[in-house]
Structure 1
Amino acid sequence: MSLKFSPSTCRARCLGLALAALALVSGGVSRADDPEQARAIVAKADEIRFPREGFQVVIDITSTSVGEQQEDRKYRILSKGNENTIVQTLEPATDRGQAMLMRGRDLWVFMPNVSQPVRLSLAQRLTGQVANGDLARANFSGDYEPKILRTDTIEGEKMHVLELTAVDRGVTYAKVLYWVRQSNNWPYKAEFYSISDRLLKVCRYEKFKELGGRTRPTQLVMEDALKKGDMSVLRYSQMTAKELPDRVFTKQYMDKLNRVD
């Protein structure tokens, strides 16, 4: 016995199949073959974390480790265009006057009573779970080649899941897995990996509030993936736009800048 369908019924069935196929492609999984979409997602998330223009922000860092005393540190960041950054140590008082200067991916530390700056690695640990590059260069879009892996749903919210591969060995991490909200490009979580593909630490972006003219994460929680209980909490405050001429980001200017409160 054969079944016959009217043209309108056939059109409806074909439309339904097409929509179902589209949902599988676009709704369940982000387009992994679209590098431009991946770059756009990472760039927008970067702009939510920090302004592209010159700015100043204060960061309080509390680090805890099992069996050790809590460590509290405070820094002032001056940054311009994600390529030029100064990290000034404000607390503890014994380290006040130390500062890091980043130009591109080159990083130096300046210390009181030491005539010459010392070259540093972005991946070197600054304090607790925080690497130098976590403060000096938070530029995912410039340091990594992104690829969309899939879409995850977390607490009812769809997330892009991206794999970020380092463009060279000079960046802070070899690989990052990055969760970004589809609805507004807010960063949600990042996993940081070594060159041997070992998970080093996990970062959560929390407490989104008005800061520096738009809604941003004002707290980052970085947890050691290898040693349970070791973590650093970064709290951002006092973010303001600031005119920062290029002469600020020079070795010759660092001594003068460190004398200004």
Structure 2
Amino acid sequence: MTVNRRDFNRLLLTAAASAGATGLGLPAVAAPDATAILRKSDEIRNPQRSFVVDVHLLNYENGKLDGQTKVTTHSRKHSGQFQTLVYITAPSVDRGKILLRNGNILWLYDPSSRASVRISPRQRLLGNASNGDVVSSNLVGDYNPVLEGTETIADGDRNNRQCYRLKLTSANSSTPYSAITFWVDAQTSQPIKGKYYTKSGSLIKVAWYRAWKSQMGAVRPTEVVIADAFDPKKVTLMRMNAFRPQDLPESWFRKEWLPRFELQGNS
């Protein structure tokens, strides 16, 4: 299956684009608080209440669709962070598998064995997307932010944005990345771009947020373009569709409950 060449070229240009910095430095006025900047960005990335969203992951190599996965993510706000249950709906070989984050632990439930095993959030789910990328989370709490300055960079649509540049370092062992350089629009608080690093300091991928739409009371990104740091021709597109509020019982977010879980409307 081949993706439309124009669409892929657009993804590739985004992936290969330089940061396009025109200057980095703190503003002359008192610098805003890094945690406050990151918290506002979190509020745009994710509704800060219980919600459900459909996520479609598409992996491309050299312009061709190389694989895809569909999941439905259920997220329940709890003590400032999310408990998250990710139900895999496609491909058929993986349908019914569930990822569960409760606290700092990530579980994978396999209906064929009816067993739950601990997994790493760093493990790849598809292409450049890891398990930790599809599990809803607030960066505040998981990472310690430092404001490095302001910078003008190109966003996911190749438009220049004046941004705060944050350096995030992991606050616990459950985070999928050891460090992130994260850009947040200085006027809108929208997340714009992230660079993701391993414990050794190696850059492993770059992500751009785009396709802004009104969802659950705010204009949110509904696409994330994730480029491989070593080969920009390997691009994973993560599409979020149909954010919707839903009351989610706490019992769903215990591994003992997973064999009983049924996807509403699809069971």
TM-score normalised according to structure 1 size: 0.84
Greater Cα radius of gyration, structure 1 or 2: 1
> 1:245 maps to what in 2?
249
CA distance in 2, matches of 1:255, 1:233: 30
> 2:133 maps to what in 1?
134
CA deviation after TM superposition for structure 1 residue 43, in Å:
0.7
Which residue type is aligned with residue 27 of structure 2? S
Q: Comparing both chains, which one has the higher relative contact order based on Cα–Cα distances under 8 Å and sequence gaps of 6 or more?
A: 2
Contact residue 87 and residue 98 of structure 2 kept, 8 A: yes
> 1:26 maps to what in 2?
27
Which residue type is aligned with residue 42 of structure 2? D
1:183 aligns with 2:187: yes
Unaligned 5+ residue runs, structure 1? 1-23
Contact residue 34 and residue 147 of structure 2 kept, 8 A: yes
Aligned length: 233
Shift in alpha-carbon separation, 1:74–1:170, aligned structure 2, 3 A: same
CA deviation after TM superposition for structure 1 residue 168, in Å:
2.4
> 1:235 maps to what in 2?
239
> 2:258 maps to what in 1?
254
Contact residue 30 and residue 151 of structure 1 kept, 8 A: no
SS of 1:40's equivalent? helix
SS of 1:39's equivalent? helix
Which residue type is aligned with residue 184 of structure 1? T
Map Cα deviations across residues 104-124 of structure 1 (whole Å, 9 max, x no partner). Answer: 120111111213211101111
Contact residue 26 and residue 149 of structure 2 kept, 8 A: no
Unaligned 5+ residue runs, structure 2? 1-24, 154-158
> 1:63 maps to what in 2?
59
Contact residue 30 and residue 149 of structure 1 kept, 8 A: no
What is the aligned counterpart of 1:42 among 38, 45, 54? 38
Bigger shift: residues 108-117 or 147-156: 147-156
CA deviation after TM superposition for structure 1 residue 222, in Å:
0.4
RMSD value, Cα:
1.9
Percentage of pairs with the same residue: 30
Shift in alpha-carbon separation, 1:246–1:230, aligned structure 2, 3 A: same
> 2:18 maps to what in 1?
none
Contact residue 82 and residue 137 of structure 2 kept, 8 A: no
CA distance in 2, matches of 1:257, 1:25: 49
CA deviation after TM superposition for structure 1 residue 207, in Å:
0.9
Shift in alpha-carbon separation, 1:259–1:141, aligned structure 2, 3 A: closer
Shift in alpha-carbon separation, 1:156–1:112, aligned structure 2, 3 A: closer
CA deviation after TM superposition for structure 1 residue 68, in Å:
7.3
